[in-house]
Amino acid sequence: MNIREIQSILNSMVERSQNWVQNNVKIPNERVYHHLFSSLLTEHCNDKGLDIWESLIISPEHKTEQQFSWSEVQLGSVTNTRKKALGNGRAGNIDLAILDKKTIFIEWKGPQVFKKKDVAQTVIKLLSQKDKAIKILAAITITTPSGRKNHMDTNTERLQEEIDFACKVLRLKKPQNFYVYVTCVDREECHRIHWGKY
């Protein structure tokens, strides 16, 4: 499994999400995306003649090596977050890990507009995984044509701020093998905020 194949599945998810919005189908929470991705991943492997359970090791809610104390994440303090939130508490869970030749970790957000602390925690969790692994933050947020610009601006700003914050907490000059696929969907169009390597 490679990044191009993952990106193809994510493209299909965005198309399906817009179709749901156009047909007034409610997307209640991000779990919908977890299930949809797993379903499309299975279809993709079947099309290639692969048995997903024999060819890939799929690990939902995959335990992180790092321990976290999320209540100690302080968006206003990199130092306090580094000292108190990392290495304390308990292991986190990555939404989905694909344990292939190249390990891929995927975290989902949506369908609501990003919450700052939630995004910060997710990015810290992803970027604290081993350097060689591919780390993916995928998000599909649902909006309306009238609210599109405001939601896009909010998501863009929060995404950039919290990735910068996570890098400072983890002492990273820049994220390694980090891919971000974030789009805003309404009845009229899908607008990509970031689509590819970060």
Cα separation of 180 and 108, whole Å?
10
Share of the chain above pLDDT 70, in %: 99
Given pLDDT bands bounded at 50, 70 and 90, which one contains residue 25? very high
**Close Cβ partners of 54 (under 8 Å, ≥ 6 residues apart):** none
Bridge partner list, 137: 107, 180
CB–CB of 56/99 below 8 Å? yes
The pTM of the whole model exceeds 0.75: yes
Nearest partner of 29 among 135, 141, 154, 136, judged by Cα? 141
Q: Which residues contact 178 (CB under 8 A, 6 or more apart)?
A: 126, 127, 135, 136, 137, 197, 198
For the record, the structure tokens of 133 come out as 């692994």
- pLDDT tens-digit map of 64-109: 989 999 999 999 999 999 999 999 999 999 999 998 888 999 999 9
Pick the closest to residue 151 from 196, 107, 111, 108 (CA basis): 111
